[in-house]
Chains A and B, each alone.
Chain A
Amino acid sequence: MAADVSTARAALEGVPREPGAPKPDPIVKGSNITRTFGGLTAVDVDHIEVQRGVITALIGPNGAGKTTLFNLLTGFDEPDQGEWDFNGTSLGKVPAYKVARLGMVRTFQLTKVLSKLTVIENMRLGATGQRGEKFFSAAFKSLWSAQEDDNTKRADGLLERFKLDAKREDFAGSLSGGQRKLLEMARALMVDPELIMLDEPMAGVNPALKQSLLGHVKSLRDEGRTVLFVEHDMDMVRDISDWVIVMAQGKIVAEGTPQSVMADQRVIDAYLGAHHDTDITEVDIAEIEAEADAELDEETRE
């Protein structure tokens, strides 16, 4: 697998550092995607391609339309216009659950763990093709118990990998913010996706957990999956991404390797512009820090 990663990364070397640049082996391709809310244009993307087998970061100031683009690509929102495909399958108007079944699974900015279910039940829910989820076979345990055991085994393996095995029987609602992010990621892996889309995996995670989360994201790529993630944390972007796409005001303004993007004047403008105009980002940072502190307190108490 590692060979695939290096070839994929190597292939990116020849890609022009331009917005909407074509990739040698794209897993996702989209054109002319727009979405407006009232009079406000949230997303207006001319062209986007995501390279297979690498980690791509989607960055941009608040309100750049990153999450909206995520919602559109995964079928959680409908665009005004636009077309995109995944592995050559066109996904316009395809409902979210079918997108997930095709192998394109996302997580959420505000984690959506099912807090009234236990951790292991959360994991089992992720498994696909369950006979026991069909109405007419559900009432007869013998029809699905063997498959359920297999899924549980797989889930336990993932829990161990994400260091959540100690929390197996706890209600997911009792987990800390970072653990929730881990659980959501592990649960998404139960679907066995080809492309995993992480919406701000580091938001609200305390610094102690960050390193291990970074490791987990890299391991996703190393086992052959494609990762697309939205992030504000520049250190993380620099640290793990192979390619960076920058959005501002709904448009893609720059693309390139992390080093080239960080040096790009358009990116600096986009970010500084946002920082100059509002102090919302600062509020956000303060909030995230406060959250992390609270979490640390909680964990030391335990």
Chain B
Amino acid sequence: MHLRPATLLTAILAGLILLAPVTANAATTPTPSPTATGAPEANPIVDGQNITVTLKDLKGGKGEAVPVPGVSLTVLKDSKTGEEIGTQVTDQAGRVSIAIPGNGVYVITLDKDTLPEGVELSGGESDLTITARLGGSNFATFPIGAAVADKVAFTEKLTNSIVAGLKKGLIIALAALGLSLIFGTTGLTNFAHGELITFGAIITYMFNRGFGMPVLAAGVLAIVVSAAFGWAQDRGLWRPLRSRGTGLIAMMIVSIGLALLMRSIFQYTFGSSTQTLTQYVAQPRTDYGPVSLSDKEIAIFGISIVAIVIVCIGMMTTRLGKAMRAVSDNPALSASSGLRVDGVISAVWILGTALTGLAGVLLAINDQVNFQMGFKLLLLVFAGVTLGGLGTIWGALVGSIVIGLIVEVAPVIELWGVHPVPASIKDVGALVVLILILLVRPQGILGRAQRIG
């Protein structure tokens, strides 16, 4: 066997050992709720069948939702004029819980006069009809504060979604650059690429939570470890496979096995729950003209743009960059003209996994850490790379940003009163675009048609 099992095993074991000391320890900061006069301290949830309503002011989606205490709610049977089942005033958590006699239709009415100053119902409707089917609590909610955004309008929603889309697009672009570099030089469609994103995030988490380092230091270390992992992966697995002439489809299936392996190891060591880093978790947003951004978001924009610019300039000007592009264009010719193809591919793996690790680090800072965060992003990364044209660097960059924008902006778009892309499944829009691009222009928006035969 040409493969070095020892190398591979060592790499896996090293990963396991590195991850082992990580212990789950999530930190969530409870937000203090404002007290209102005349509101009960707490309404316990009634035993048995009941209707439970929690009123929260969503503040138009900015910042934390705040409970609304002291509001009077009444539950009636069948209709607004039906039999009154019970009335209660919301507690400090904004909650009422009213017992009901059994399954059926109930109407909940809200006394608008008891709403605190400045708090208004978003929909305007002060009653709500629900059908109780569950034996325990039947939950209902009144929209408060959400409508502020609704009214403030489409333009603000659009700007916010564009900013969110650009941010997502840049993070995807980092991973997509990595994927594209590796695909370009080796032809490998790497299904384990999502796990490289997760790897960056989990290593950050490990250095941060496990060893108590600040997030920034942990992030830098995570990128270094990612790069080392990429090098080891190429040396221990992909290079031996290449040298024994394994076909591309076989390698693709090997990468699927590797993805399953890595994801299971992540779940084994890290656990199934979602965790946060110690710093930059919930940051307030500051308004900058039409957009509002938190400091960490500005940093994410800055870091990803700088990284991308450096890589692009490097690819255009340095010897190594030119060598990478040469190998990508024609490996056989590059080899015959004296280029050390294996060395270049090693460099590509190091650079590619470092970029992908950086994507993971930024994603961990922006959101949270989870064992399948990268896997969930994988198809979007594929979409970005494909949209721009497989194997082209500029293509991957532009394609990813377009994909990020599609994911975030598409759910905001409303046509004839319908949202073509439902908000709960916003990735769908990007996946549809991915398929359409493959059908119409498989070489991507920036790629060149290949010569056949």
Contacts and interface: CB of A to CB of B under 8 A. Distances in A.
B448 A38 contact: yes
A67 B452 CA distance: 11
A71 B451 contact: no
A76 interface: yes
The SS class assigned to the B binding surface is: loop
B452 A77 contact: yes
A77 B448 contact: no
A158 B98 CA distance: 90
Contacts of A77: 452-453
A37 interface: yes
A67 B453 contact: yes
Interface in B252-311: none
The CB with the most chain A CB atoms within 10 A, among B449, B451, B452, B453, is that of B453
Contacts of B452: 71, 76-77
Nearest to A109: B453
Interface in A241-268: none
Contacts of A38: 448-449, 451
Interface residues of A, number: 7
A137 to B, nearest CB: 32
B250 to A, nearest CB: 15
A76 B452 CA distance: 9
Interface in B28-80: none
Interface in A52-101: 67-68, 71, 76-77
A68 B453 CA distance: 8
Interface bin, chain B: under 10
B329 to A, nearest CB: 13
A198 to B, nearest CB: 16
B144 to A, nearest CB: 60
B451 A37 contact: yes
Contacts of B453: 67-68, 71, 76-77
Nearest to A76: B453
A252 B126 CA distance: 84
Nearest to B451: A37
A38 B447 CA distance: 11
Nearest to A71: B453
Contacts of A67: 453
A120 B448 CA distance: 41
Nearest to A40: B451
A37 B449 CA distance: 8
Contacts of A71: 452-453
A38 B448 CA distance: 8
Contacts of A37: 449, 451
Contacts of A76: 452-453
A38 B452 CA distance: 12
A70 to B, nearest CB: 9
A38 B443 CA distance: 13
Nearest to B450: A37
Nearest to A68: B453
Interface string A146-180: 00000000000000000000000000000000000
A256 to B, nearest CB: 28
Contacts of B451: 37-38
Interface in B410-453: 448-449, 451-453
The CB with the most chain A CB atoms within 10 A, among B448, B449, B451, is that of B451
A168 B448 CA distance: 44
A59 to B, nearest CB: 19
A33 B297 CA distance: 56
A243 B451 CA distance: 30
B448 to A, nearest CB: 6
Interface in A33-60: 37-38
Interface in A7-22: none
Interface in A78-135: none
B443 to A, nearest CB: 12
Interface string B364-401: 00000000000000000000000000000000000000
A127 B453 CA distance: 25
B336 to A, nearest CB: 10
A25 to B, nearest CB: 30
Contacts of A68: 453
Nearest to A78: B452
Contacts of B448: 38
B114 to A, nearest CB: 71
A77 B449 CA distance: 13
A71 B451 CA distance: 12
A68 B451 CA distance: 10
Nearest to B452: A77
Nearest to A37: B451
B143 to A, nearest CB: 56
Nearest to B453: A71
A244 to B, nearest CB: 23
Interface string B121-154: 0000000000000000000000000000000000
A76 B451 CA distance: 12
A236 to B, nearest CB: 23
Contacts of B449: 37-38
Nearest to A70: B453
B404 to A, nearest CB: 30
Nearest to A199: B453
A148 to B, nearest CB: 31
A13 B200 CA distance: 76
A78 B449 CA distance: 13
A109 to B, nearest CB: 9
A25 B453 CA distance: 31
Nearest to B448: A38
13 contacts: A37-B449, A37-B451, A38-B448, A38-B449, A38-B451, A67-B453, A68-B453, A71-B452, A71-B453, A76-B452, A76-B453, A77-B452, A77-B453
Given A37-B449, A71-B452, A76-B452, 5 more contacts: A37-B451, A38-B448, A67-B453, A71-B453, A77-B452
Pick the 6 closest A-B CB pairs, nearest first: A37-B451, A71-B453, A77-B452, A38-B448, A67-B453, A77-B453
